[in-house]
A and B are shown apart, each in its own frame.
Chain A
Amino acid sequence: AIRMTQSPSSFSASTGDRVTITCRASQTISSYLAWYQQKPGKAPKLLIYAASTLQSGVPSRFSGSGSGTDFTLTISCLQSEDFATYFCQQYYSYPYTFGQGSKLEIK
């Protein structure tokens, strides 16, 4: 199975900050990479797919980049509603696998 490793696992930031989360795949996954946001007690929400394509309705402050094995999710100007846990997922091959999550907390 392809292993997905996210960093950092948790971190804090302030409203208005620019933050970046990284995701590394244990082998190449081309651009078959998605990013999800999850808030406590809620289902995950798709933010980015195909590494850099913004899902409809997602604010443009979210962006994704990368291909092959190294990917990033950037939030350009943190809003209060962005404090959540973020997961990357590869869908290049079965079994699909998720990163362990990156919890973003308010500083």
Chain B
Amino acid sequence: EVQLLESGGGLVQPGGSLTLSCAASGFTFSSYAMNWVRQAPGKGLEWVSSIRDSGGSTYYTDSVEGRFTTSRENSENTLYLQMSSLRADDTAVYYCAKGTCSGGSCAFDFWGQGTPVTVSS
């Protein structure tokens, strides 16, 4: 059974930093692209970042480029999202999601339960 378990969310002041983790199990983690998606309170879904299976390529939405870094440790089946220079509009539930890919383009077939991040003073 595929399981994705996010952790590391919490309350952080504007300008602060936070690192989210996503522990994966039930599939060969190193063979799949992984993704972060967020959802602000009462809002829709927003893709944040993707990382290829090898970790060699990463992609970001414009609003987090240069502030967030996605990485993975395939030996530990873990995905990370390092967030810095956090702003109030980064407040959201952050989901990690496994990619199901065709030719490098990926839908998201399994999602974690999400971890909330609140940026506030």
On A, residues with C-beta under 8 Å from B are 1, 32, 34, 36, 38, 43-46, 49-50, 55, 87, 89, 91-101
Contacts and interface: CB of A to CB of B under 8 A. Distances in A.
A98 to B, nearest CB: 4
Given A43-B111, A49-B107, A55-B109, 19 more contacts: A32-B102, A36-B45, A38-B45, A44-B45, A46-B107, A46-B109, A49-B109, A50-B102, A50-B107, A87-B45, A89-B108, A91-B106, A93-B105, A94-B50, A94-B59, A95-B60, A96-B50, A97-B47, A101-B45
B105 to A, nearest CB: 5
- Label chain B's interface by main secondary structure: strand
Interface in B15-64: 37, 44-47, 50, 59-62
Interface string B77-121: 000000000000000000100001010011111111110000000
23 contacts: A1-B62, A34-B108, A43-B95, A43-B114, A44-B95, A46-B100, A46-B107, A46-B109, A46-B110, A49-B107, A50-B102, A55-B109, A89-B47, A91-B106, A92-B105, A94-B50, A94-B59, A96-B50, A98-B45, A98-B47, A99-B44, A100-B44, A101-B44
Nearest to A50: B102
